[in-house]
Amino acid sequence: MTRTIYPEPVGKSQAGALEKLQHTFGYNSKGILESHAKNPNGWNLEVHALNGMEYRQLKRALKFGYTTDVKVKRIVITRGEGPNHECHIPYIAKNWEDADEILKRMALTAPEIGYYKTDFEILFTNGDTYRGTYELSYKDRLEASLYGHVTNHCEFYGGICKKLPDHLTDDQYLSLLDENTYRYLLLLDDLIYPSANQIGLDPEIIRAAITKPIKQEEQLYRGSLTSNLTVLKVEGHQDSCIYKVLSNGYSYSSFSNSEAFNKWMDKFGLSLGEQIRNDTYHINGSYRIKMVPDRSLYLHLPQIAILMNGGMVRAYKELTPEVTNIYVVMNYKESFHFDYTKPSGQWYLRKFFWDK
């Protein structure tokens, strides 16, 4: 049986960085991968688009080639406000058009004056995600456009807004723009426009926006926010229950008994919320895993230490009203870069936090 090999989807900025890097390294893929494994956020400004790139994605791009034809893989829409029986239920779309249909149905019970907050998460085929909140109103039953909402937001903060709100002058608008302008332009050019088969930006617009180097603190690996959690109780053998956890509608984890499930919630500062349908409950709270270069700023927090791969892995937990932050120190003996937010990184997450 022949295995079909596909090029790895990457953003335009990542593709440009890869071309420069391959030329610099003399097309030595091994050297590039070794450098990335040692410091996945250490690339200089010229190729900084590779900072934070998942190791296996980079390896596949170097081995099988890459494409900038990035598409939407999945969109999860979760209503945060409105009738109780319609809230906190994730709906999944495969493209922009499907997402609009979901929003139009939701809008039938939205207010004519004001709006209901509706969260969404977009996963692209290159592995990147975009999260935001859609302001759902009754008029969206006819004209909902998630692509339009995302595009308008990014164009506004990218400095290329087509029509300013009436209350803003040109000078006031320019004063709102900061060093993040470049990031919004990359979002448009790398992900948003290609996913809708739209023409990208003039490269000169992007180059002109590079006015400041990226701050070191922004280069640190930042895991995705794990939120919109729900749990489904499934009857098992001998009157036991299996607890299946979903995050934004996507299967996240499962627990074979209530003790393991409660231990996991306690580790991450979560609590069981209201019942949203039969045997399905909302989980209150959210958390984020962050990689940090040293532990000096986190010594005052509760510590978790585990011996792994010949080195001591340390993590620190910070509880806030909005989110539980877990800080994992990077200076341990590990030969590759892994991402806790993806299924391949779940084994490490379990070992760190709820198998102990």
**pLDDT tens, position by position, 25-54:** 776 888 888 888 888 888 887 788 888 888
Q: What is residue 169's predicted lDDT score, i.e. its pLDDT?
A: 82
- Judge contact between 151 and 187, C-beta under 8 A: no
- Domain end, chosen from 237, 261, 284, is at 284
**Mean pLDDT value of segment 178-194:** 87
Total of domains in the chain: 5
**Mean pLDDT value of segment 330-334:** 53
Give the contacts of 23 (CB within 8 A, at least 6 positions apart).
none
Same domain, 85 and 62: no
Whether pLDDT at 333 is above 60: no
Residue 150 belongs to a domain: no
- Judge contact between 352 and 334, C-beta under 8 A: no
Same domain, 259 and 297: no
Same domain, 349 and 297: yes
Question: What is the Cα Rg of the chain in Å?
Answer: 22
| Residue of 87, 156, 148 lying closest to 117 (CA atoms) | 87
| Residue of 56, 11, 1, 7 lying closest to 206 (CA atoms) | 11
Backbone angles phi, psi at 308, to 5 degrees: -145, 135
- Domain end, chosen from 91, 110, 144, is at 144
The three-class DSSP label of residue 64 is helix
HSE of 240 in the Cβ direction (CA atoms, 13 Å)?
A: 12
Q: Per DSSP, what are the bridge partners of residue 118?
A: 79, 134
Same domain, 305 and 347: yes
Report the distance separating Cα 92 and Cα 84, nearest Å.
19
Mean pLDDT rounded to a whole number for the chain:
81
Whether pLDDT at 238 is above 60: no
Q: Distance of CA 294 to CAs 58, 133, 201, 329, Å? A: 25, 33, 38, 6
Token pair 């934004």 is found at 248
Say which residue, 333 or 29, is predicted with more confidence: 29
- Domain end, chosen from 27, 49, 67, is at 67
Residue 152 belongs to a domain: no
Q: Which residue segment(s) compose the domain that 328 sits in?
A: 287-354
Q: What is residue 340's predicted lDDT score, i.e. its pLDDT?
A: 53
Question: Model pTM?
Answer: 0.59
Q: Per DSSP, what are the bridge partners of residue 282?
A: 230
- Judge contact between 233 and 276, C-beta under 8 A: no
